[in-house]
Structure 1
C-alpha cells in the first residue's frame, strides 16, 4: 500500500452529496480549483479503502464544484464516499518548466543555508496571499529544534533546489 501511495498525489477531497443522482461536492487543492477536472481517473481513499473511479461529469456549482464519478449513481453511494481524498497518478501531472515545482516534490527536502547550516526538512507548504510558505521542521543533525516558516521566493530566499539530491539551499539567517 505504501508504495502505491507514493505513486499518487492528493488533489482534493469529496465533501458531501449533491442531489439524488450520485453527484458529489469536491474541494480542490489545485490552482485554479477547476484544474482538478483535468484528470479523468481519480483514486478515492477513505478509511483504508481505495478505489479508482473515472470522472464522468464536472462543473462549477455556486461557489463550489460538483462531480459525477463512474459507479456512483445514487445519493446513498455518494454518501459512502463523502470525505474521501481524491488523488491522481503522479505520472498524470503535466511537466513543469525549469524552476517550477509541485508542492509534493518539495516535501521532505533537507534545507540548509548557503553556509551549510542545516535548518531542517520541508514538512509541508501553505499558501498565503503574497506567496507560498515552507514549513521547515528540525531533524536529527539540524541546527536546533525550532520550526521555521520560510517564504518560497525563488531567486530571493530559495537559492537552489536539487530534487535528485533531496536538498534545498536557502539565503536565510538561522536566527530567524
Structure 2
C-alpha cells in the first residue's frame, strides 16, 4: 500500500509513497503492517498524515525524531485485506493479478504476472515467462480480458515485443 522514503523535517515525520488513489486514502486503512528490508514486521496503529507539495507525509505514534524516521527508509506498508473495500467492476487489486497466466490473442503463453507498476501515464503489467514482457495495463487496448476463474489475463500484444 506504500513505502517510506525517509525523514521529513526534524520532528519524526516520514516521507511516504502511497499506492492508493487518492494518496491520502492510505490513512483510512489501518492497522498497518510495516515490513523492513530484512523482512522484520511490526504493527502500527494510529498513523496520521497529510499531502504536501513534496508528497505524502506521515506521523507515526512511536516515531519522535529525524533519526527514527530515517530508519524507516525502504520499509513497506501493508494492510489486512479485510480493511479494503471490494474492487469495483473492471477494477483490480494488483496483488490479485499476480500469478495469473498471461496469453496473447493468438494463444502464445507469456508466463505469469510477476508484478505491476505505475509510470504515471499508465500502469504496466510485467509478465515473466521465457523472458520478461512489460505490457501497458490499458483496457481494452492491450489488456483484453481478466478471468479470475480461469486464472488468465488475455492481452493484445505481439509475441515479439
TM-score normalised by L of structure 1: 0.77
Identify unmatched segments of 5+ residues in structure 1.
1-10, 139-144
Match of 2:137 among 129, 152, 156: 152
**Alignment correspondent of 2:108:** 117
Q: Specify whether residues 168 and 22 from structure 1 end up closer, same or farther in structure 2 by C-alpha distance, changes over 3 A only.
A: same
Alignment root-mean-square deviation, CA: 2.2
Structure 1 runs of 4+ with >4 Å offset: none
**Alignment correspondent of 2:85:** 94
Q: CA offsets per residue over residues 85-141 of structure 1, 9 Å max, x none?
A: 111112222211111112222122111123432122122222235432222121xxx
**Alignment correspondent of 1:55:** 46
Q: CA deviation at 1:65?
A: 1.9
Aligned pair count reads 160
Return the alpha-carbon distance in structure 1 between the equivalents of residues 18 and 24 of structure 2.
7
Answer with 74-83 or 84-93: which moved more. Answer: 74-83
Return the alpha-carbon distance in structure 2 between the equivalents of residues 111 and 156 of structure 1.
15
Identify unmatched segments of 5+ residues in structure 2.
none
**Alignment correspondent of 1:141:** none
Match of 1:26 among 10, 16, 19: 16
Return the alpha-carbon distance in structure 2 between the equivalents of residues 75 and 127 of structure 1.
29
TM-score normalised by L of structure 2: 0.83
**Alignment correspondent of 2:155:** 170
Return the alpha-carbon distance in structure 2 between the equivalents of residues 92 and 149 of structure 1.
30
Q: Is the 8 A contact 2:6 2:71 kept in 1?
A: no
